[in-house]
Structure formats: structure tokens, C-alpha cells
Structure 1
Amino acid sequence: MRDFAPRDNAILNVYLFLLGLTVVPKLVFAMFSSAGLALQKVFRMRRNYGTAMGVFLAAGSLYVLFYGSFISFGKLDVRHIDYYSDTLPASFDGYRIVQFSDAHVGTYGRSRAGLLSRAVDSINARQPDMIVFTGDLQNMHPGEIRPHIPVLNRLKAHDGVFSVLGNHDYADYIAAPQSVKEANERETVELQTRMGWTLLRNENRAIFRGTDSIVIAGMENDGDGKHFPRKGDIGKTLAGVSDSAFVVMLEHDPTSWRNRILPHSNAALTLSGHTHAMQFELFGWSPVAFKYSEWGGMYYENTRAINVSTGLGGFIPFRFGVPGEIVVITLHKGTKQLH
């Protein structure tokens, strides 16, 4: 077994950029030119229109490559959500949660460290009651986190920072003895604790305002068990929580919402990440929609909802049509009034 990717991400990034610069445009041109030639022969046309289309789309692929690598990856969106629920305690009306996800800090390095600092400043500027991080802090190993601790340590909220682990935060992507993998996972957990974050690993905490309370629960990554770790335990996560409690559930993988959270809990609002919208979106559509029914934004099942953040960073420093984001979620008691 080999590592999922080179330990030095720069090698992979350069390789993929050169692939996009040289191979992809030629492949696109060849495909459309060949298709056009076939149509020309079948319909006895004078011109091969596929050649012109191939040139246009090859140039378009270069635009996507350069814009996504050098401009769009450096952008930051702030998305605002208002979530209404009759079960929210009155003291929490107007409660503000800022969610960020999929930071993949190993991708920033020195040249992009300012992007992470800007995101932290933007989160703090929202004056949140709570900050939540929904997984994938690292790419492959905890050594990527250490240089960014001074920046991440600046995150401040009235009720603190809560987090869960994503699939990249486990040691599944490195080829190493089990003892090394276990040590890496322990360090990933310890670094989050050192930053003052409350890492929830199939557990929950109560947040109080006077005699009112809500529950923030965090489940370990609950993927398919084949490509992504399945370590979530909904029973353990909600141990001691009454059925009438207002629960905000943190879970990295959004597929768990329909597979486990909706049928086996009363969690009102689930916050997830993981999909990145494949870091490519065109006219509101992403190819990740072929795999995930909930892949970016808010989705509802009656009054219950999930927000899937398309993430802040990425394993690869490329985003087109889907810039990094932070999400400001304001809780409201009652039913949303439609005008």
C-alpha cells in the first residue's frame, strides 16, 4: 500500500497543473475534432465544425485552469442562513453560529497562509455565539496543522469552538504501521484541544442561556465504510439527550443525514461538509451531484434541515465557480413567514 498522495503536496499540485495545461486541452480538441470529422463524412458537410468547437473548448479549459488556480481559489464567500424552528428555546432566538469546513490547511503552505488568516478574521468579525468546524482540518498528517496553530488559535466565540473529524483527519491516507497511524490520530486530536477547540467524538455538550438550553452534538465521520471511514455512533452521540431537546448535529459526511440522523434522531439542524462541490460549479450545477443528493447549501425534510458547506480550502489549490466559504447561521424561534 502507498500513501494516497505525495507527502509534499507541491509535487502533486505541479503535476496536476501541467496535466491541465498540456494534456487536457489537447484531449478536448482531439475529441471534438474527431467527432466533427465523423459527422462531416456522414452528412457530407464541407467543413469540420468539430475543429472550431475543439479550439473553443480547449481554450476554455485553459481559462478554467488559470482562473480556478490563481484567482478563484483565493476568493472567500460569506453565506447567510436563517433557520426557524418552533422547538428552539426562546432564549436562543437570534443565536449565531458560524460554520467553516474542509480547511485542508496542508494546502496553504507559506504562499497561501494569508488566505487562512483572512478567513479567521472574517469568522471573528461575525461576532458568533458559537463557531463550528465540520471536519478535514488536514490533508494527510497532523504535521500540516502545526504551522497554522497561531492563526487557528485566534478563533473566538462566546460559547467556544466545536469540531468533528473528517475522513482526512484519520490516518487512512498514509502507508504506515498501525502504531504510527494511531499516533498521528492522537496528535490530530491533541492539536485541536491545544487550540482550545472542543472536539466531539460521538458525544454532546449542552449550551445554556439561563434555564434554557440547546445541545451541540458531534458524530465521528459516518461514511460508506469502504472509501470513507464509518465511525459514527448515533446512540452514543446523543446519550443523555432528551427527545424534546433542540439539537444541532455536526457530521462531516452529509450522506449520514438521510442514512442515520433523520431516521434515528430528532436533531433539528445538521451541519456537514465533505463534498467541496467537487471544487467545480457551472451555472449552479456540479458533477458531484451524481454522487450526493445534498452537496451544497440548505436542504429540508419538513422542519428538519441540513446545511452542507462547500468548504474553505481543498486538497488541491483549485476552485472554479465555488469559492471558499464560511456560513453564518442565525437561529430563530417560530415558523418562517413567507411574503
Structure 2
Amino acid sequence: MLRFLIPIVLVLILELYTFFSIRALTNNKFILIGFWIFTVVVYAVFFYQMNLAQREGRFSLSTGYAIALALTALVPKLFIFAILFTEDLYRLFAYFQHNGMTVGEAIPSRRKFISQLALGIAAIPFAGFLYGIFQGRYNYRVIKHTMFFDDLPEAFDGYKLTQISDIHSGSFDNKEKIEYAVDLINEQKSDVILFTGDIVNAIAEEMDPWIDTFKRLEAKDGLFSILGNHDYGYYAYRDQKDIDENHQKIEKVHEAIGFDLLLNDKRTLERNGEKLHILGVENWGASRHFPKRGSLREASKDVVDGEFNILLSHDPSHFDYKEMEIRKKEKEDPAVITDEPNVINFEKKIQLTLAGHTHGMQFGIEIPFLNLKWSPAKYRYPRWAGLYEEAGKYLHVNRGFGVLAFPGRVGIWPEITVIELKKREKIA
């Protein structure tokens, strides 16, 4: 009961502070009553949709928009609270510093300017959320990297790949925007297209209206894909038979699009007698909440030392998870105990790992020329977006193509990654 009571009290405090800031500017009863009516409607819609989602076992578009409405209404109030609470602390300090004064003299009524300032600052995240919902989720960015490797085969010098991840077709609602994004991917004219999982939110049928659109994807050396945690049906079904049937349908969806689905397997690309391996593992996540079906050993069983390998693994925690830390965090839950190695410590060298999964939490701040990159995602996934390197092995985490739950993106835009592989020249 306490775990529900505390959030309710905190939200009520936010609402009261917002109400007081509005009341400091106007005594119009229609505005003040309207504020509470709007607030009640927002939370009523939110709790109704969340309850519906729990009964159905999956998120619908209407649930996503209910979440968006609640966040758009709630997050700006955090800024109002921060400013007004700071003012209240100052007023309280003033009261204790002025002995002999009455409360009214020492703590004057809330100043109109402070309320105007609080509401003005709160308007910035409010506008940001509205933009993120209506425009930001389709603000596709092509992010390009050139990567140099000592052991890249000569024949693949200049090889170009495009990575997309986390399509989440169950959240799509604009065919024109999705077609634009597919065309943008094709415009990159990469040698290969690599998809790193989560093609749906929960069930295979979510992709049915979009198969013809994604069938337009093309690359000279083909399209390769893997599964993400949302592709197994666990979020929609409890019965194993339903889960297995959904899995079979998902495989057919990949086939219909033209994706070569890798299930702990590899494909070998050859040029002038030289090889480059595409390894694809099933989902493996450090959290006990996500499926652990990936196997690096199975995917690379025919790989010979010294060959160049690109790994597709949906969850970036696969790259560097630490077993003992997981056991301690999850209190040695048997569900998280595994003998699956992380990529860094794996006996066979995997030069480049491509992942997704985090979405950058669809919210954050990125200003490249200031080298500023922040998202709440970093507190769960230290490697949450972009390029990382450790022990001579690289990880790229794609920010995602679609959205999940919150139908918008604020500061963290949908990403199409283009990576050019280059052979590093030896210094004589």
C-alpha cells in the first residue's frame, strides 16, 4: 500500500504547487476549476488505459497517448515545483530570521513574478513534449561513422553498412512518415542493412500493415536481422503454445520483408577470396526481465581466429555485463545465472558489435559541438547511445527507429546509422 501512497502524495504536491502558481496570477474561477477538471481527466484516462493494457497484456496506441498526455501534463510541473519550493524555503528562512514580526510580515504572499517565472520555464518542457509527440518521433537522423581497423580485410576497405533498430511497428500511426524513413535508408546506398531487433511491440500481427513498406529496403549484399526482447511474445501471451505460434509468425514477417533472420547463427560475405562474418544472436539481456536465448559460442562455432566479425546483439549489456554484479543485484535469482560470456571476454575476437534496445529512453539532451550527451537511460545502461570502445572491441548502440510506450521523442531522435569500415594504414 505504501508504494502506491507515496507516488500519490508526491503527485498531489506537484498539482497543488501548480494550482497555487496559477492562483497567484488570476482569481478567475473558471480557470481555477478548469485546472482541476483537466487534472482529474488526465489521471482518469491514464489509469483507465494502464488498467486496460494490463488486462490485454500489451500496449496499444491509445495507451501510448494516455502516457504521453500524463507526462506532458506532469513533467513541466516538476519545474514549477522546483522554483516555488525554493521560494518557500527562502520565505521560511526569512520568517525565522525576523524575530518579533508576524507571519504575514515575514512571509509575504507569493510574489506574482515568481509564479510567472515558474510557469514560463515550465512552458519549455511542455512545448518540447508536444513537439516530441507530433514531430520528434519522426525526426529521423542519419548518423555517420567512419571506423578504422588494423585487421579489416583489404577487400572490405570502404565497406558501408546501415544499422536500424527497434522498429516497434505497433506504435506506428503515419504511413507517409514511415515511407519517408525507408526511402532515407535506401538513399544511403549501403552494401548491407543490419536490423538489431524489436520489430514489434508484442505480437507479430502489428507488422502486417507495414510489410509492403519495409519490403522496399534494399542493399547489394542483403538485409540481416535478429530478434529483440519484444519479438518473443512474452509481453502479450502467457501460454507457451501462443508464444511459440507468435515466434513462428515473427520469423515469417522477417522473411516477407526480405530480412535474413539470424538465430544464433552467422552469414559470411566474401570479396576477392576474403571474408567478413555477420554473427547474429537471439536476445540476451543482463536483466532477469528479458529473455536469455543468445549464444555467442553457437553463432561463432565455425569462425576461425583472425577473421573479421560483426555481431548483432539487441541488448548492449551483452557487450560487457559482469556476472557477479548481476547476481548481487538480483539476489542470485537463478533466472539471471548464466554461462554466456560477454563480448569483451569472449575467446574469439568480435571487432564490432551492433545493439539497440535502450531508445536513449526517447528523452534527453544531445549537443555534439559541446560534447554534451545525457539521458536517464545512462543510469540503467552505461553504454546507451553511440560508439564505445574497450579492449580493442567496439560497440555501437543505435537510438532506435520507432517508439515504445511514450509515443514521442524529446531530444533523442530516431536514428539511421551508417558505418563505413576502413583499413588502418600501417606506418612504415
TM-score, length-scaled by structure 2: 0.73
Higher relative contact order (CA 8 A, sep 6+): 1
Correspondence for 2:360 among 259, 266, 277: 277
SS, match of residue 204 in structure 1: strand
Is residue 2:293 matched to residue 1:211?
Answer: no
Unaligned runs of 5+ residues in structure 1 are none
Letter in 2 for 1:62: F
Partner of 1:263: 345
**Matched residues in 2 for 1:229 and 1:336: separation?**
43
Partner of 2:369: none
**Matched residues in 2 for 1:26 and 1:85: separation?**
49
**Matched residues in 2 for 1:24 and 1:302: separation?**
40
After TM superposition, list the pairs within 5 Å mapping 1:161-180 onto structure 2: 161-180=223-242
Label 1:53 to 1:239 Cα distance change in 2 as closer, same or farther (>3 A). Answer: farther
Letter in 2 for 1:324: P
Q: Percent identity?
A: 33
Letter in 2 for 1:160: G
Comparing 192-201 and 95-104, the one that deviates more: 192-201
Correspondence for 2:138 among 74, 84, 87: 74
Partner of 1:17: 68
Letter in 2 for 1:272: A
Paired residues, number: 335
Correspondence for 1:294 among 380, 383, 388: 383
Is residue 2:308 matched to residue 1:242?
Answer: no
Correspondence for 1:305 among 364, 388, 394: 394
Partner of 1:184: 246
Partner of 2:47: none
Question: Which structure has the larger Rg?
Answer: 2
Label 1:102 to 1:93 Cα distance change in 2 as closer, same or farther (>3 A). Answer: same
Could you tell me whether the CA contact under 8 Å between 1:6 and 1:12 is conserved in 2?
Answer: no
- Larger helix proportion, structure 1 or 2? 2
Label 1:299 to 1:21 Cα distance change in 2 as closer, same or farther (>3 A). Answer: closer
Comparing 37-46 and 118-127, the one that deviates more: 37-46
Once the two structures are superposed, residues 67-101 of structure 1 have per-residue CA deviations (whole angstroms, 9 ceiling, x without a partner) of 11112112111011111111111000011100011
**Matched residues in 1 for 2:72 and 2:155: separation?**
55
Q: CA deviation at 1:21?
A: 4.1
Unaligned runs of 5+ residues in structure 2 are 1-50, 96-106, 322-341, 367-372
TM-score, length-scaled by structure 1: 0.92
**Matched residues in 1 for 2:114 and 2:358: separation?**
34
Once the two structures are superposed, residues 93-119 of structure 1 have per-residue CA deviations (whole angstroms, 9 ceiling, x without a partner) of 01110001111111113xx12222112
**Matched residues in 2 for 1:336 and 1:285: separation?**
36
**Matched residues in 1 for 2:114 and 2:73: separation?**
20
Letter in 2 for 1:41: L
Partner of 1:41: 92
**Matched residues in 2 for 1:219 and 1:300: separation?**
20
Letter in 2 for 1:334: R
Partner of 2:10: none
